[in-house]
Amino acid sequence: MTILDRNEIWAQAFELGEMILRTPEVDHYKKCEQQMNDNKELASMVAKFKEMQENYDRLAEYSQGAHLDSLRQDMRKMQTELDAYPEVQAYKAAMGKVDELLQAVTGKIAATISEKSGE
């Protein structure tokens, strides 16, 4: 068995990341993301939603109360509006496929480690 140092592992992990970037799943994800960004109305709504999330997170860190409930309701309403856009639906589906790919790769790495550690 050959012992690798951390630098070799990081180099191979970087190479694996580069390979994943060139998969059809990631390519489709990038195209879906670009379609969302190309829709100016949608891009504006997404930016507003992210700002609402940041405000909520900041406020929730230090307090609780009705003002947070109201903001949470506004965020749910806006999320529903965003989810109605076909671009958002396609983006979420593409993100799910990328997640599946990453989980499969992670699972394969874990299985390989488990199999090989018993040798």
| Cα–Cα distance, 83 to 80 (Å, whole number) | 5
User: Residue holding tokens 């992990």?
Assistant: 13
- Determine the pLDDT at residue 119: 65
Q: For residues 18-43, give the mean pLDDT.
A: 97
Show the tokens assigned to 11. Answer: 């180099």
Q: How many residues does the chain have?
A: 119
The separation between CA 45 and the C-alpha centre of its own chain, rounded to angstroms, equals 18
60-115 per-position pLDDT tens digit: 888 877 788 889 999 999 999 999 999 999 999 999 999 999 999 999 999 988 88
% of the chain beyond a pLDDT of 90: 75
Residues with Cβ within 8 Å of 39's Cβ and at least 6 positions away in sequence, in order, are 85, 87
% of the chain beyond a pLDDT of 70: 97
